[in-house]
């Protein structure tokens, strides 16, 4: 188990487009394990490879449902539907949160660690998370989609995307 350093806003790597994974070798397997460890350590519900400085199209997600955690390699969003507007945060933007509108349903195609293609469908928090993490792979941060001002999050142990009360 290894915790990797999470890159934060202002780091150029977060603005770059990530490359597709062609084969899942031992390095990629270790990267995925480390991404999961790093996400859990930081109390996040999702993490994308560029957030630990690796420009590859890999995301990990765990929203606490019975089917997670999800590892998505080369994810492609096939369909979206509806919309949800709510508070969102990002481990790369510590201490901040903002209101973002996302699809309420997302259908994504991705590859697992054996490079088998699969389909994942999510609603509500999972849909928000898939959308947010896939944005990272194209160098996009939620702060560019925030409606209104970014808010300071005053408690230090908040979870990614968790709803919290306004002060
Ligand atoms: Ni993020």
The pLDDT of residue 64 is 95
Low-confidence residues of the chain, pLDDT below 70?
155-167
Distance of CA 17 from the midpoint of ligand 1 (Å): 14
8 A C-beta contact, residue 106 and residue 131? yes
**Is 133 annotated as catalytic?**
yes
The pLDDT of residue 108 is 98
The pLDDT of residue 164 is 46
DSSP the chain: --PPPPP-TT-GGGGSPPBPP----HHHHHHHHHHHHHHHHTT-SEEEGGGGT--BSEEEE--S-TT--EEEEEEEEEEEES-EEEEE--TTSTTEEEEEEE-SEEEEEEE-TT--EEEEEEEHHHHHHHHHHHHHHTT--GGGT-EEEEEEP-STTPPTT------
pTM across the whole model: 0.92
Report the alpha-carbon distance of residue 105 to residue 83 in Å, rounded: 8
Catalytic residue among 20, 133, 159, 165: 133
Distance of CA 16 from the midpoint of ligand 1 (Å): 14
Distance of CA 27 from the midpoint of ligand 1 (Å): 23
8 A C-beta contact, residue 107 and residue 78? yes
The pLDDT of residue 154 is 72
Distance of CA 90 from the midpoint of ligand 1 (Å): 4
Render pLDDT for 3-23 as a digit per residue (tens, 0 to 9).
Answer: 999 999 999 999 999 999 999
Distance of CA 141 from the midpoint of ligand 1 (Å): 7
List the structure tokens of 120: 């994942």
The pLDDT of residue 155 is 59
């Amino acid at each position: 188990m290894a915790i990797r350093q999470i890159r934060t806003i202002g780091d150029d790597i977060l603005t770059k487009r990530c490359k597709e994974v062609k084969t899942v070798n031992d390095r990629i397997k270790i990267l995925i394990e480390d991404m999961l460890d790093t996400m859990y350590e930081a109390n996040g519900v999702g993490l994308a490879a560029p957030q630990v400085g690796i420009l590859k199209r890999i995301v990990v997600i765990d929203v606490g449902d019975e089917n997670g955690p999800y590892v998505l390699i080369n994810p492609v969003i096939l369909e979206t539907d509806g919309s949800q507007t709510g508070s969102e945060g990002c481990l790369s933007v510590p201490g901040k949160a903002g209101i973002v509108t996302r699809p309420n349903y997302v259908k994504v195609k991705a590859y697992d660690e054996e490079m088998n293609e699969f389909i994942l469908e999510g609603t509500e928090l999972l849909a928000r998370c898939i959308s947010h993490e896939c944005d990272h792979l194209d160098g996009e941060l939620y702060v560019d989609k925030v409606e209104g001002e970014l808010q300071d999050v005053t408690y230090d142990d908040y979870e990614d995307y968790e709803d919290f009360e306004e002060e």
